[in-house]
Structure 1
């Protein structure tokens, strides 16, 4: 399997390449999902591509944010520049941007970002229609679904290491609706890493452990995964170097995880959803950050100085002190001793979060390219240098024929010493010299011949690099499009519908809490839509197909690409597709958009800021399907469960999204989480109470 490694900076790029990555992914200053990474400007990107390609390493550019209409031309220009400097593929999310790229740069290979949430065969088939070559699958994808996805013919890339978004495939709106800084635009404020109250306890109940699938590599290979991906463009160069090295190795699991923990470890790792009980082991509520590698328990304290038996720190080490899973202090090394900044006790855990010796070794690391260099120097002939590597051969000749030496001819040792000097070239020469020993060549000319030979060979390696371009195919998304207009009311409980409510709307959308069991109202003269969940994993498919096929369901609201391949009934694209600009398809505009032009406007609703595939209770309990989290300011966020074959939870915003003065005639009211009285007040424009306008006035950042 190919190893795809992060390159959030020039140092990260070098580390990933030197460690032996097969491909790197990196971003430009705009339109990448890690806006706070160092990223690469135009010159930096050109140099990065040349550097990686010199080692035969592919470069994938991240253009995987949502793009506003007034940014589209600039985004296309960025893609064109990346294409022209030789990136191997672009990682993308925005459906509208994908269409523009296929129109303007049809040969640019596209990979679907994990932000697209592809996690089943139907979603993969939709990607194929879009002309996308590879899917970076949602981390929530189940093993049985990976095998089915492989049958579609699409390439599969799967995350195996690094941060795990607690929200389904990173499709999170929490940061955006709280601050206007959108995670879907690379500017996540990481509100999931804040503490919350849950059932009377304070903890980091939205903070996921780091992902580590080292044990599952053989299974992933058997399932047909083509490339494994390491998350971490915001992490250190030593993290990238270590992670690539571990995943290229065949070392025992304990040693592998120790090495990984040496550079970053949030929560002692989890296997995401690869194992049966994984959904109960995703969250680490004790702390939200790196807890490092366990060194030992503190057995002596002298003032602020800490001691662990038989452990000698490096002067550049950094530490955390943990007690009962929680951080109580930090510690650094001063004059060879470990000094804490807090109150520690005998028996507390000392964990190293910065390995100074490792950082130094990574900084000194390099990866040489073996080259075979043959030099021929004979009197009466021009000197010849033949350089071979990677199956590439370059022949360089001197300026003139060599004359006989008057006193001392150039020797094999002279030539060898000269060609062992590689300057800035990453070459490791193996030299063979043939000479009659009588030829004369000035040292300056010999050095110039070496420089010329190595420069020409580097250029030949780069020119020989072959980029697999797309065939330009783009069938586009084909489905039965919903062409309705007017007002759509979405409810979870259809018993709330009465004549007054029905008189105000044109369509009813049902948003069930259980897709196997929900009531379809009879005797009403409004077409009924079924709101489809963002998730369809494993046995969910059977239940969702049956739900769609029920009598009385006119059409569906799609929130993920899979729906487009699941039914022939009319389909309206829902908020799960997160459309924030002009779109050829009839759609419900994203509630994180900052204008209301086009499609149905999301006028009212407790917006689902997250969809969770894990159980917030940590075990299966006889729950009511409703719960709540409370933040540090006392704001309450409802948790709403929905079920197909699997259970899922949505975290709803603490206040409703409400646009009472919207002018758009096509409106969508999501009244899933409110009672009949509130529904009437909203439809009658009489709603009073706290609400948010989302990003309409703040602007989506």
Structure 2
């Protein structure tokens, strides 16, 4: 199983490689889902590929954001440049970009980002047929679901350690709607790490960091993951320090080899954790044990207790299980205090310390968050570029009166032969051949190490030491150049082009249609006399209206879609898996259609009746969709609440164990007392958070009418039938 480590910059890349990574993933300066990482220029990418390939490490480049039409050529060009620099794969979220890469650069290996939220075999089959070679499974997938994905025949990669989004990746718009920073474009501001209040009416049930998850750690489940036929175990952390990357990479290298120690576990915990680790969705059920309710930063490891306080002088005494040195970092989570250790006296395991930024309470627990000695040792692990070696074989050959030759061969069957600059002579010493082998074996400051070296000659050979050294140097340099060489299939001039549609330049001023979406079953809302073209509803509501050709059953994200799943005649979902079914289908907002090339890809499937354009697409940009395809409607949100987060974590159930809690109107309040309502779909263990606002584009109806959207979408939550009728009348 491949160990895949993050590289936010060149130093982190070296930390990963020198500590045992089999592959690294990194982002460029644009179109990276970790836009706040340092990321790589193209010159740095070239250096990174050379550094890694020389050491038998693969390089995957992330182009894993949503792409708008104005940037599609730019993103495609990034993929092409990465391809010419010899990267081993690109990781992609945007379906339109993926289709364009497959068409324009067919030899470039495609990996499906976890932002695609793949959890179902049907989704895996679709991506496999599309040309993807690997899928990074949704972090919500259980080990059983992961095994089902591997059985489709496509490579499956899983996240094994690091930060866990509380939302399905690619399905969260909380940051976008809260402050305009899109997680789907790499700018997530992480509002999920802030405190929220859980309330029922005016009663407060909880006030904590209710959406903040612990980091996941599966180091004790390696065999189960391998038995599920997972090909790659991924470490999250492109925004973490090189020391973090080194320690976690080393930890999982040992876990995979079966040599993990308790100290390794402790080092991993110290370098970063949030109130401990969880096993994520892979090996545990979503609940309180996955959450870090009290502290969203690094908790570190508990090492002792405060046993004395002098607040006037800013002095404390602590008792510690670990020997401390000046420069260690400690924290006191109860009072949200942190400091670097400054020892004024020491007596056994008792330390007198100076506190410059506040004094903790007596008897408060002390946590180590920065181990200076461990960090210094870790930094040494990647300061030597030649610490990690690649094993090779060597053969020295010599004949009377001819130049000697030295052939070196690596594990990929690359070989290079160097020749001496003078003819060999017969030596008088019986140790001459052994001395030559000894000199040839000195690989020094190179990435190579001989696992076998032999000599083929029938006499004792004499060559000056400087000639032998030059022979070795020439051979190793030649092999180095071969290993660094880039060989890719040529491609024609690349440019985005539509594959399934014929564009029309005609602008449409026709009156748009209307669609309704019900977040919940509404027994009080009879749809019979509602003037709408399509009406989307949960399964329980659909059963009452399945006779109505306007009715579509809603399949929330996380719904199971496999060979045994039977869908009704009309379905709406954000899961691309429904494209594999023979039914009328509408692709909901979570399909993330931000550009016309994604629409073009979806148009290649039968019975796609409508595509809901991304919430992140401004009204003025809808005009790109004009004349796209008369057989597919494009919907744009015109009125209603929006699901800003879709999560497998049951917020209601975590704090209210009564079965009827799922039907109760529990809600969250953010720091500004804005209300986020919770809608729960129990059959697929998914909860939606509805944003604390109602979108209202009714006053911009003329702009929308002249755009490429031919259907106006209304989301219905608590609105009455009369209110919805009034809104429809305004639209029509």
For the superposition of Structure 1 and Structure 2, which TM-score range results when normalised by the shorter chain? Answer: 0.7 to 0.9
| Cα distance, 1:101 vs structure 2 | 0.6
The alignment status of 1:647 with 2:685, answered yes or no, reads yes
**Matches of 2:147 and 2:551, distance apart in 1:** 35
Residue in structure 2 matched with residue 140 of structure 1 by the alignment:
140
**Cα distance in 1 for residues equivalent to 2:398 and 2:327:** 51
Distance 2:241 2:50 in 1: 22
Matched with 1:312 is 323
Q: Cα RMSD over matched residues?
A: 3.5
The aligned counterpart of 1:223 is 228
Give the secondary-structure state (helix, strand or coil) at the position aligned to 1:308. Answer: strand
Match of 2:246 among 219, 241, 244: 241
2:447 corresponding residue in structure 1:
426
* 2:369 is aligned with 1:353: yes
Q: Distance in 2 between matches of 1:348 and 1:143?
A: 39
Residues 440 and 213 (structure 1), Cα distance of their counterparts in 2 relative to 1, 3 Å cut: closer
Structure 2: state its 5+ residue gaps. Answer: 345-350, 382-386, 492-498, 501-510, 604-609, 626-633
Specify whether residues 541 and 385 from structure 1 end up closer, same or farther in structure 2 by C-alpha distance, changes over 3 A only.
closer
Deviates more, 1:630-639 or 1:297-306: 297-306
Where 1:35 maps in the other structure, the secondary structure is coil
The alignment's TM-score, normalised by the length of structure 1, stands at 0.84
Moved more, 216-225 or 293-302: 293-302
Question: Distance in 1 between the 2:26 and 2:362 partners?
Answer: 44
Q: Distance in 2 between matches of 1:25 and 1:163?
A: 16
Q: Does 1:633 align with 2:648?
A: no
In 1, are the aligned partners of 2:286 and 2:650 still within 8 Å (CA)? no
Per the alignment, residue 656 of structure 1 pairs with: 694
Structure 1 residue 385 and structure 2 residue 403: aligned? Answer: no
SS in 1 for 2:290: coil
Aligned counterparts of 1:290 and 1:541: Cα–Cα separation in 2: 43
Shift of 1:282: 2.1
In 1, the alpha carbon distance for the partners of 2:527 and 2:468 equals 95
**Which range moved further: 647-656 or 376-385?**
376-385
Q: Tell me what 2:207 maps to.
A: 202
CA displacement, residues 484-509 of structure 1 (integer Å, 9 cap, x when unaligned): 97211122345555689623x22222
CA distance in 2, matches of 1:132, 1:433: 47
The reply on whether 1:262 has 2:270 as its aligned counterpart is yes
CA distance in 1, matches of 2:224, 2:160: 12
Report if aligned partners of 1:558, 1:564 keep a CA contact under 8 Å in 2.
Answer: no
Structure 1 unaligned runs (5+)? Answer: 470-475, 478-483, 688-701
Match of 1:564 in 2: 579
CA contact (8 A) 2:55 2:447 kept: no
TM-score relative to the length of structure 2 = 0.81
Aligned to 1:691: none
Q: In 2, distance between residues paired with 1:171 and 1:659?
A: 22
Measured against aligned partners, the alpha-carbon deviations of 1:72-108 in whole angstroms (never above 9, x if no partner) come to 1111111111111111111111111111011100111
Aligned to 2:515: 488
SS in 1 for 2:333: strand
Structure-2 separation of matches of 1:533 and 1:485: 26
Shift of residue 117, structure 1, vs aligned partner: 0.6
In the alignment, which residue of structure 2 is the partner of 1:596? 622
Which residue in 1 is equivalent to 2:118? Answer: 118
Report how far residue 277 of structure 1 moved: 3.5
Q: What secondary structure does 2:374 align onto?
A: helix
For the Cα contact (< 8 Å) 2:398–2:461, is it kept in 1?
no
The CA distance in 1 between the partners of 2:331 and 2:116, in whole Å, is 37
Aligned residues of 1:299 and 1:309 also touching (Cα < 8 A): no
8 A contact 1:625–1:641 mirrored in 2: no
| 1:157 Cα offset (Å) | 0.8
